[in-house]
Structure 1
Amino acid sequence: MTTTVSPSTARSVLPIGPHRLHRPLLVVAAALAVLTLVGIGGALFDDRDLLGHPLWMKPLKFMISFAVYCATLAWMLSLQTKRRRLGWWMGTVVAVGVAAEMVLIVGQVVVRGRQLHFNMSTPTDQLIHDIMAGTVYAIWAAVLVVAIQLLFDRPGDRALRWSIRLALSTTLAGMLLGNLMFRATPAQQRAMDETGREDFFGAHSVGVEDGGPGLPVTGWSTEAGDLRIGHFLGVHALQAIPLLALGLLLLARRYPALRPEAPRTALVAIGAAAYGGLVWLVTWQAERGESIVHPGQATLLASASLLGATIFSSLFVVLRARRKSLVSP
């Protein structure tokens, strides 16, 4: 028997579970939303810069990113039907970890005016670096527990369930991609070989030193590879893949072929695979020292192949579902 969604059910585009949204995560998300306004003011009126970019830009990006991340995870936890107490504690670990990260980011960048990442220049810089690294791994472990819980839970319909599972697995992989940045550059390695220490260890860019020309707002390098791109896309799979499922649920109001769970679930799987392929593609491009705005022939060929496979498989699913909807009573 095929399960379908009625047009009236499809109006509930953002289903909320039977329990309240996770309060600590919501509190942190709200605090970060307010702090974002402060960050925008700082970016507009504080003319200080760091590594050639406005001083407030990095904290501001983290404020927005963390706020969206916390709000999304709070929603996902509301859908839990099993072991909710454990899920609540894991969400609280994430909330506390994110709050601690933002305190350190603002303190290091805005208050101290120091480079945030890769900075081992002084004992204080190294301590902040080490605390941030430990906090990130604690957040990652807590999200992993939530992902395992929801793997065996049954929130929402099948398409939404799989979108959440695939989003959590992709975001966990995306978080780990940050480790690629914590490798010595050739210049740093030479300095360590000569002196036995290096004040900075790791870099965002591949092929050039950090701080060169970059895209507006993001700062992603326009002259070499940038490992932040894959990391960013991977982390925010947490929003992108469930949004696809919710968008398909909304489209089911208008298109009967999408009302059964099966085609929407298949399209979510295709979308998640394409998104994962995109994360891999931009990371592979960055590792080769190639800028996101200057793709080479190999990158263009891989992009075209990924796009073509996604379009072909999506059309196959949609046309098959449409054919079934026309012959079904």
Structure 2
Amino acid sequence: MKPSSALAAFPALTPDRARSFTPSVLLREALERQRTLTIAALLIWAAMLPALVALGLDERTVREVNVWVKPLKFMASIGLFWLCTAWFVGLLPEAQRRHASVRALVAVALGAGLFEIGYITLQAALGQASHFNFSSPFHQVMYTLMGLGALAMTATQPVLAWRIARHGRADLAPVWREAVVIGLVLTFVLGAGAGGLLGSVQPPSGAGLPVVGWHLGGGDLRPAHFVGMHAQQFIPFVGALLAAAGAGRRGLWGFVALYTALWVVAMANGLDGAVFTPPPMAYGTSAT
């Protein structure tokens, strides 16, 4: 086993191994696991720097929020999605990482993410809305394509989950492997479930909560979408902690039940007072 590959079984931590978890070691490991997605994540996070500069210099707003807030949030989120996907690809043996289905899911995740970030950033530079913009046939088509791209990106996760469940490395702690599989499946089920409705429910205008911009008073499905999408990180993280503590599956399934209940509550709150957008052909101007 390569020295960096020892991290593949990282729930089984020893004090010496825990001390080796430096940023440079983790970066080398991520590059070995899936180089393309890791580099893409680093580049998109680097692109946040000029976007932050633009945020400080550009006073234009869309629905009372600075035009550069949305690109920054999507860059951060998609970069994390790519990096975690790269890490989980490393739970497969090296031969399985080269399987056609793995190469395809990497290409889909990368292409869909780049398209979404590219269009959102372009619209920010133009001072226009990317979401719920039905002001022209072009914007209607682009909004539809963004939705399809987001669906395709989340659909890569159950494919990866199936590969890990069937061909995962032999040195993985069972509870860790199960947590990753469950987290990836729920990323699609809960993330796409909330995202599908979110595409027809425009959130309330205004800044909302700091950083995330959500409104918790109802009518905003973004919190539920966040919970669904980030099952990719939260559930495997808890699984890693349980594996490190030598705990069994009961604790994992208890957390999964609580996490799913949180998503249900967020969905119910978001649907309470939600305003569903009319079909695009009913618009004569931008629904920004």
TM-score category of the 2 structures, normalised to the smaller one = 0.7 to 0.9
Q: Partner of 1:126 in structure 2?
A: 140
Q: Deviations over 1:70-108 (max 9, x none)?
A: 000000001113743221331122112111111111112
Q: Is the contact between residue 33 and residue 89 of structure 2 (CA under 8 Å) also seen in structure 1?
A: yes
Q: Partner of 2:4 in structure 1?
A: none
Q: Partner of 1:54 in structure 2?
A: 66
Match of 1:243 among 212, 237, 242: 237
Q: Partner of 1:282 in structure 2?
A: 266
Q: Which amino acid aligns with 1:180?
A: L
Q: Mark the runs of 5 or more structure 1 residues left unpaired by the alignment.
A: 183-201, 253-257, 291-329
- CA distance in 2 between counterparts of 1:154 and 1:174 reads 24
Match of 1:214 among 198, 205, 208: 208
Shift of 1:114: 1.5
Q: Is residue 2:189 matched to residue 1:173?
A: yes
Shift of 1:235: 0.2
Q: Partner of 2:54 in structure 1?
A: 42
- Partner of 2:33, secondary structure, is coil
The number of equivalent residue pairs is 253
- CA distance in 1 between counterparts of 2:52 and 2:31 reads 34
Give runs of aligned pairs for residues 128-147 of structure 1, distance below 5 A.
128-147=142-161
Q: Is residue 2:96 matched to residue 1:112?
A: no
In 2 relative to 1, CA 44–167 (structure 1 residues): closer, same or farther, beyond 3 Å?
same
Shift of 1:6: 7.0
Q: Mark the runs of 5 or more structure 2 residues left unpaired by the alignment.
A: 1-10, 275-288
- CA distance in 1 between counterparts of 2:29 and 2:56 reads 40
Q: Which amino acid aligns with 1:169?
A: V
In 2 relative to 1, CA 239–130 (structure 1 residues): closer, same or farther, beyond 3 Å?
same
- CA distance in 2 between counterparts of 1:97 and 1:234 reads 18
- CA distance in 1 between counterparts of 2:146 and 2:30 reads 35
Shift of 1:264: 4.0
Q: Which amino acid aligns with 1:134?
A: L
Q: Please, what TM-score do these two structures have when normalized by structure 1?
A: 0.69
- CA distance in 1 between counterparts of 2:144 and 2:12 reads 49
Shift of 1:284: 1.2
Q: Is the contact between residue 154 and residue 191 of structure 2 (CA under 8 Å) also seen in structure 1?
A: yes
- Partner of 1:20, secondary structure, is helix
- CA distance in 2 between counterparts of 1:131 and 1:50 reads 21
- CA distance in 2 between counterparts of 1:152 and 1:40 reads 42
Q: Please, what TM-score do these two structures have when normalized by structure 2?
A: 0.78
